[in-house]
A and B are shown apart, each in its own frame.
Chain A
Amino acid sequence: MKFRTIAVLITAALVCAAGASASSSSAKAGVTVYAAASLTDVFPAIDKSNTYSFAGSNALATQITNGAPADVFASANTTLPAQLFAQGVVEKPVVFTRNTLVIVVPKSNPAEIKSIYDLTKPGVKIDVANSAVPVGSYTLQVLGQMGLASQVTPNFVSQETDVRTVLSKVQLGQADAGFVYATDARAVPDGVTVIRVPAWAQPKIAYSMAIVAKSQNKAAAQAFIDEVLSKSGQATMLKYGFLPITAPVPAITKLSLSKGKPGVSVSVTGANLTGTTSVTFQGVPAKFKIVSATKLVITVPTKAKTGAITVTTPAGTATSAKAFVVLKR
């Protein structure tokens, strides 16, 4: 117990020394989790028995590399855990959620910002996280993707060490706008107004986590990772506005016919079929009609070949377990 108290104190001291905002809670049991500031609300909701230190992912990575007593590292990107894994500092990371970027403005919106293009106006005061922090890096990616970097970066008035500081400064009116994660903006629904970042310019924001190699509590650390990845853990992530790890992939469970001639209609039963973009018989495209998320009606194409039927959606591909036998006309 004395060791844990010391560990918490050391953790707090290291985080403060790095200039990052951090918070810790004493634990009855559980593991010490170093997590991105954007996870401040959701992780304790998943498991309140752990000791958490929340800060910018880059600051936490530095502390862990320097020997801070963490059991789990959860980062707002996949790059930092991958780098630590390559250095042997953490074990193999796993992706556990995704997020999106938004712009927040004060409720009073003194700069009258209505879209991301308004951030190019001279004199707009924009607060961002610095580029070493994942959210700061994502911000620059968005501006680059939209060709706005050269017009918007001159309006940066401050660069913070974590996303929550950006949110706080905008909420207090110390900046006209800031870039944060959608989940952070949800944390203060009455404090800021959210402006969408266009989906076509969104970076692919994935979070990953890993057990710290020097952890003395690896079994419990793995249990926490499993808890986050579990159905209930993921449900909690969704409740707090995070996105599922991946979109639901399609599946085929049954074909109404096992054989038939070209021109015959076949019902395909399965799951997540709503967004079907193509159906093929061994590479030969077939006409199809989407009846529901669980049912398609397809027409055996003229040049169909005997074999498995493949359904493709934006989330992936499903192949029938059994071959469909194409009969001659």
Chain B
Amino acid sequence: MDAPGRASLPFERKVPTHFLSRSDLFSRGAKGGAALLLAGAALGRFAEDAAADPLPAADLAYARLLVAVELLGSDFYRQAVAASNAKPAVAKYLKKAYANEQEHYQSVAGILSGAGVTPAVSADIDFSYPSGTFGSEGSILKTARQLESIMLGAYLGAVGGMQTASLKQGLAQIAASEAQHLSYASSVSGGKAFSLAFPPALSIDQASTALDAFTS
């Protein structure tokens, strides 16, 4: 399995400076510049630089959860692509969604690495899926809908729950991306592309519990 790397993208700009040595700061500054270029091309600019204060403990807990969410998303789409059980148009979506989830992972992992802690990687979590999940296009899309609902809810919850204001725009952008995935997976499998004016946000506890359905 491809283990998503630990390089960070836009969130890394919010590194609390007092965690870093001067050399670290210069090193990160150079990487951050390159990352920002990538971010500008691929994801857009997330937010203004955060203050030099460290991230609140509650925000680190949220970042940990979101890293797990993205590892699950990446693992699911990787396996869905590998199963090769979808029509070309859907297969194209699965590949793009896989790429999106990997980019999201890089960003939320950057919150942790920027704070001086090591983000989880795929080998840290054992994922499991309902029997036959990857056996047909229909079952893949059904699970994609479930997963994307959780991921959307988790990010909407994080937008409201995380205290660091400068992270919120990036989180909202990822929520929008997950909403696009959800809309596509729903419509292509015969459901409604959209319905709710206000999709529900999940609390950190609810999102964590929801993840349990896909981890063993």
Contact = CB atoms under 8 A, between A and B. Distances in A.
Interface of A: 114-117, 120, 145-148, 150-151, 196, 198-202, 274-278, 285-290, 301, 314
Given A146-B65, A201-B208, A287-B85, 15 more contacts: A115-B205, A147-B112, A151-B57, A196-B212, A199-B211, A200-B125, A200-B208, A200-B215, A276-B135, A277-B82, A277-B83, A277-B129, A287-B84, A289-B136, A314-B216
Interface string B36-65: 000000000000000000000110111111
Interface residues of B, number: 37
B202 interface: no
B212 A288 contact: no
Contacts of A274: 131-132
A264 B39 CA distance: 46
A147 B61 contact: yes
B83 A198 contact: no
Contacts of A114: 205
18 contacts: A146-B65, A147-B57, A147-B60, A198-B208, A198-B215, A199-B126, A200-B68, A200-B125, A200-B208, A201-B208, A274-B132, A277-B134, A285-B82, A285-B84, A288-B85, A301-B84, A314-B127, A314-B216
B65 to A, nearest CB: 7
B134 A117 contact: no
Contacts of B2: none
Contacts of B127: 314
Nearest to B62: A147
Nearest to B129: A275
A271 B83 CA distance: 19
- Point out which of B60, B127, B129 has the most chain A C-beta atoms below 10 A from its C-beta: B60
B187 interface: no
A289 B120 contact: no
Contacts of A198: 208-209, 211-212, 215
Contacts of A285: 82-84
B151 to A, nearest CB: 13
A287 B139 CA distance: 13
Given A117-B204, A287-B85, A289-B135, A151 B124 contact: no
Contacts of A115: 205, 208-209
Contacts of A199: 126, 211-212, 215-216
Contacts of A276: 134-135
Given A146-B65, A200-B68, A278-B82, A314 B128 contact: yes
Contacts of A277: 79, 82-83, 129, 134
A151 B61 CA distance: 10
A147 B64 contact: yes
Contacts of B136: 289
Given A199-B215, A200-B212, A151 B58 contact: yes
A286 B134 CA distance: 12
Nearest to A114: B205
Nearest to A275: B131
B128 to A, nearest CB: 6
Interface string B129-158: 101101110000000000000000000000
